[in-house]
Structure 1
Amino acid sequence: MQTSDLRIALFSGNYNYVRDGANQALNRLVGYLLRQGAQVRIYSPTVAVPAFPPTGDLISVPSMAIPNRPEYRIPLSLSRNVRRDLEAFGPNVIHISSPDRVSRQAAQWARNRNLPVLCSVHTRFETYFRYYNLSFIEPLVEAWLRKLYRKCDALVAPSESFAQVLREQRMNYDIDIWSRGVDRDIFNPQRRDMEWRRSQNLTDDIPVIGFLGRLVMEKGLDVFSDAIDQLRRRQVLHQVMVIGEGPARGWFESRLPHARFVGFQGGADLGRAVACMDLLFNPSVTETFGNVTLEAMACGLPVVAAKATGSQSLVEDKVSGRLITPGAINQFADVLQNYCTNAELRHQHGNAGEFRSLDYSWDAINQTVADTYARLIRQRAARSMVP
């Protein structure tokens, strides 16, 4: 089977109404598949003014805003109109990318028609509850996820370390790696612009510690803030730049009154802002890959990250950055201090990270997903022929 023979119905809980790393990857995948001649139809909640235009044909599914996080929407049902559209499209493979009710109904729809189902796992959903004092329900969430993932023909995970977590959790045993790529035209050391940095009231001679990501608590904002507090107590010269927007921005600004918040940056502006940092601090444990980590590495920055699934697949400890036990504030502060006071070490580890980033080509990475679709279709057809 050729990639051009594929007809993929893709279900997403958030394809383009709020920008995040997962839906950026999905849109890139769809763009690649369309260029290869495949047919793709996307089903997702929509809003009147999305964060960015969708790649491909997007069909709206019924949804409602999450009460405490109204920027996000919950898909409600595979409605009659959506089912009609799905039947007319006639997919030969279903791809689900979030464990919501609509994705579960789509997976059942596929099983009723003997179609294969691929699930891409983009985040460690079960860990989110730790940030809302609900960690006691984590085992229940794992069981709820397992019930869906075990019914899929295969999973794709963004890193080998996360795939191993999924195996240990008994989510599925057919797991391919769908890594992430980086746009080297946007993210490279040559994007560094000291004039722009000065325009943000950041001086040339004091190291800039950067945060990049959506401003929500599950990104480790509390750990980031506590470690920066330690640097201030130790009187370590440093500056902080925060790139991103989100509902926790007010809280984060109150915790980091001396930081420079530059808001959302996209495209070439994002590459410039990242390259103007001197190191990236990414304390999140919810990442399954760490797009921001790879983008910083491509800009020649050392990365200080939590020793978690995504970062462990990218950062080589003491070579291109440091991996620290999640939540270990003093250890984070120690390595941040070391980088702030040692420009040669920053340069050495940043160069190693940039070299590592050269391995990540988007087209080759996305072709692995197309190959997985084709394999699942072949396997399903072979099973159907067995008497």
Structure 2
Amino acid sequence: MTRVLHILDHSLPLHSGYTFRTRAILKSLQASGIEVRGITGARHLAEGPPTETVEGLTFHRVPGEPTGPVGLREWREIEALRAGIERLAQEWRPDILHAHSPALCGMAGARAAKRLGLPFVYEIRAFWEDAAVGNGAGSEGSLKYRLTRALEDRVVARADAVFTICEGLRSDLVARGHDGRKIGLSPNGVDLTLFGEPPERDDALAAEIGIGGGPVIGFIGSFYDYEGLDDLIAAMPALRARHPGAQLLLVGGGPMDEALRAQAANSSAAQAIVFTGRVPHSEVERYYSLVDVLAYPRKKSRLTDLVTPLKPLEAMAQKRIVAASDVGGHRELIEDGKTGLLFPPDDPACIASALAGFIDARENWPALREAGRAHVAQSHDWARNIDRYRAVYQKLLDGTSSAAA
């Protein structure tokens, strides 16, 4: 039986889009007959034992907090994780190393794979230098930005096969001069076995948090600047001018939380904007049940043009109506007018007009729900997506070049 060791930034029991994608990948590989384990380094901050089993998946931890100036600290982090991978490999004997971004994990995996004589797969979920810009933690073109990009290029060059989660990332790598024949796609996906029929509206929760008959526009996730929630709040007065009962439900939290609450409090539509704060993952489905249209108003940037988010797919899998800004990452997921709505980014007036028109055409919603679910089942179900990995693993074990082609 083939054994694959996955090298990760962090993992379950932490909850994030990153860990949910990892869980889906590992569970699907397991179900297909491949043995899998995960290993994390210094950035997995949850307390726990050196070896931990969560939801039937085994994870190994490499402890420590690297110190030193920028550059040296990251190199120490890479080397600690590399050494941990090699120690585990002596015990568990994996056939393939499969690292997932960021490039720190990738370089640790690449160095370990060379020393162990194992095939090496590298998977890019986002360019982390662009994510740092989007999160307000970095600036485009800075020294750190350029160093992170250069490290990523080194890892891609050293990998036997590369996966990206979308065409935007793949095209960017090819434009940088990397061999497109070894870069395959592993698009964001969902485990459809986790999504049955959507639950009935939770009227008790609606009454508790002040949600009326709607229509209810909702966002459930992290409040980062690039998500464009300020534009959604700014669109609410104009939307309510056409649909006086319209409300906005914002579930979650993050760096923009305080600023968004202040903006909402000063809006003429303040009484129609409801913040819940973060809610337990086990309760999220109750909040989904209150939303008529899930909105994803991401701002236009390198990050949002190149990276496909997971949340719209999860919403479509639950037969939820999806409306999103017309940026590259969303265009890879949503067909305007067929599986959801695309509206101009960075323009509250256009967002309001598009949403109002969308609500006016509610008779089209049942068809949109079915088309969205069908699209996810056809193109984004992990039960199918996992075949992309299996084919590449087999080619690498057979010694075939250009494995991801």
Q: Aligning the two structures, in what range does the TM-score lie when normalised by the shorter sequence?
A: 0.7 to 0.9
Q: Select the residue among 13, 19, 28 that pairs with 2:15.
A: 19
Match of 1:155 among 156, 159, 162: 162
Aligned partner letter, 1:33: L
Residue aligning to 1:32 = 28
Match runs of 1:317-356 below 5 Å: 317-356=336-375
Deviation track 1:60-85 (CA, whole Å, cap 9, x = no partner) reads 1235499xxxxxx9992443455322
Shift in alpha-carbon separation, 1:318–1:65, aligned structure 2, 3 A: farther
Deviation at 1:166, TM superposition (A): 3.5
Partners of 1:75 and 1:370 lie apart in 2 by 33
What is the distance in 2 between the residues matched to 1:308 and 1:153?
31
Q: How many residues align?
A: 369
- For 2:31 and 2:164, the matched residues in 1 are separated by 23
8 Å CA contact retained: 1:149, 1:172:
no
Matched, 1:106 2:109: yes
Distance 2:367 2:326 in 1: 21
What is the aligned partner in structure 2 of residue 283 from structure 1? 297
Partner of 1:316: 335
1:197 aligns with 2:184: no
Distance in 1 between residues matched to 2:149 and 2:277, nearest whole Å: 37
CA displacement, residues 316-358 of structure 1 (integer Å, 9 cap, x when unaligned): 0122222234423332232122224442244443343233233
Once the 2 structures are TM-superposed, how far is the Cα of residue 107 of structure 1 from its aligned partner? Answer: 0.7
Q: TM-score, normalised by structure 2?
A: 0.78
The one-character-per-residue Cα deviations of 1:196-219 (angstroms, maximum 9, x if unpaired) are 434432112x21111122233343
The amino acid across from 1:11 in the alignment is I
- For residues 87-124 of structure 1, what are the alpha-carbon distances to aligned partners after superposition, in whole Å with 9 as ceiling and x for unaligned? 33222211111234343122122123432211111124
Counterpart of 2:268 in structure 1 is none
Structure 1 residues 42 and 190, CA, compared in 2 at 3 Å: closer, same or farther?
Answer: closer
Report Cα offsets for 1:185-237 as digits up to 9, x if no partner: 55455313242434432112x21111122233343334433444654687754
Gaps of 5+ in 2: 68-73, 266-272
Deviation at 1:130, TM superposition (A): 4.3
Describe how 1:370-381 pairs up with structure 2 within 5 A. 370-379=390-399
The offset of 1:307, in angstroms, is 2.7
Partner of 2:140: 135
State whether structure 2 residue 217 is matched by structure 1 residue 217: no
| 2:279 maps to 1:264 | yes
- Render the CA deviation track for 1:151-172: whole Å, top value 9, x for unaligned: 2122222234443343334455
How far apart are the structure 2 equivalents of 1:200 and 1:185? 30
Secondary structure, in 3 states, of the residue corresponding to 1:250?
Answer: helix
Deviates more, 1:14-23 or 1:160-169: 160-169
Tell me the secondary structure at the aligned position of residue 213 of structure 1.
strand
Tell me, in whole angstroms, the C-alpha distance in 2 between the residues paired with 1:356 and 1:248. 32
Correspondent of 1:125 among 125, 128, 141: 128
SS in 2 for 1:323: strand
Give the conservation status (yes or no) of the 8 Å contact 2:103–2:152.
no
**SS state of the match for residue 393, structure 2?**
helix
Among candidates 163, 168, 178, match of residue 175 of structure 2:
168
Secondary structure of the residue aligned to 2:320 is: coil
SS at the partner of 1:330? Answer: helix
Change (3 A) 1:11 1:229: farther
The match for 2:70 is none
Closer/same/farther in 2, CA of residues 197 and 222 from structure 1, 3 Å limit: same
Structure 1 residue 282 displacement after superposition: 1.0
Letter in 1 for 2:154: K
Counterpart amino acid of residue 11 in structure 2: Y
TM-score between both structures, scaled by the size of structure 1: 0.81
Matches of 1:376 and 1:214 in 2, distance apart?
38
1:55 to partner: Cα distance: 4.8
Deviation at 1:11, TM superposition (A): 0.8
Match of 2:384 in 1: 364
8 A Cα contact 2:235 2:348, kept in partner: yes
- Aligned AA (1:163): R
